[in-house]
């Protein structure tokens, strides 16, 4: 249990550093989209003895660390469902083929561009779109070229 606590403290510190790093590139952040967290037993002891909770507890710990770091900066934290976020992104972008869209992004920005990037970008797009409601879906789709990122 002491080990879990040490990692949790380390995760919180690293989450702060991670968000610091983003703000050097994008100074004004208006929100963070994180995956939904499953319910867990209340104590660490219960989590590590329950096999199912044991597997989920690590992801939840990192998400909570990032959420705390974001909230400490006053950034709203939005939760997304990884299963439905791609469909929602397709609607927000008003495109039929999201894969084709991400392929174009990949061509423009270059590697690394994998499933994690797609998921994170879809979540950010959906969050941005939800902030203004369906009347104002994201009007255009632009992205910076690889040289700019």
Partner 1 sequence: MFEQLYEPQKKPQVSTAMTLGILAAYLVGAFGGFCLFIILGDRTFGIQIVTAITYTYFAFWYVFFPTRGLLEKYSLRNKTVQQQIPSLLAIHIAFLIMIFLGQTIWFAIKPHLSRYWATDRGAGTPYAWVMIGSSVVFFFTQVLISRRILSRSGDEARSGYLRIMSKKDGIIGVSDHGGWAVLVTVAPDGTLLDRRRVELVGEGLPKLPHHSEGQRLRSRRPWS
Using DSSP's 3-state secondary structure scheme, residue 99 falls into helix
Contact residue for partner 1 among 14, 68, 86, 91 (CB under 8 A): 14
Site for partner 1 in 98-127 (CB under 8 A): 101, 104-105, 108-109, 112, 115-117, 119-125, 127
Contact residue for partner 1 among 38, 48, 83, 86 (CB under 8 A): 48
CA angle 57, 63, 68 (to 5 degrees): 120
Place of tokens 């690889």: 146
CB 69 within 8 Å of CB 15: yes
Distance CA 80, CA 99 (A): 19
Spell out the residues 6+ positions from residue 5 whose beta carbon is closer than 8 angstroms to its own. 44
Nearer to partner 1, 51 or 74 (CB): 51
Q: Is residue 11 near partner 1 by the rule CB under 8 A?
A: yes
Q: Is residue 88 near partner 1 by the rule CB under 8 A?
A: no
Minimum distance, C-beta of residue 96 to partner 1, in the bound complex (Å): 12
Count of residues engaged in binding partner 1, rule: CB under 8 A:
83
Nearer to partner 1, 74 or 133 (CB): 133
């Amino acid at each position: 249990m002491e080990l879990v606590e040490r990692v949790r403290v380390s995760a919180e510190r690293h989450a702060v550093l991670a968000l610091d790093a983003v703000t050097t590139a994008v100074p004004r952040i208006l929100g963070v989209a994180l995956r939904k967290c499953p319910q867990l037993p209340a104590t660490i002891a219960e989590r590590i003895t329950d096999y199912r909770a044991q597997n989920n507890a690590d992801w939840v710990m990192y998400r909570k660390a990032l959420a705390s770091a974001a909230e400490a900066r006053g950034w709203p934290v939005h939760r997304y469902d990884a299963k439905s976020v791609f469909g929602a992104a397709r609607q927000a972008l008003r495109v039929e083929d999201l894969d084709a869209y991400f392929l174009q992004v990949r061509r423009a920005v270059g590697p690394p561009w994998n499933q994690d990037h797609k998921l994170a970008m879809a979540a950010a797009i959906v969050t941005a779109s939800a902030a203004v409601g369906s009347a104002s879906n994201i009007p255009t789709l632009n992205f910076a070229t690889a040289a700019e990122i």
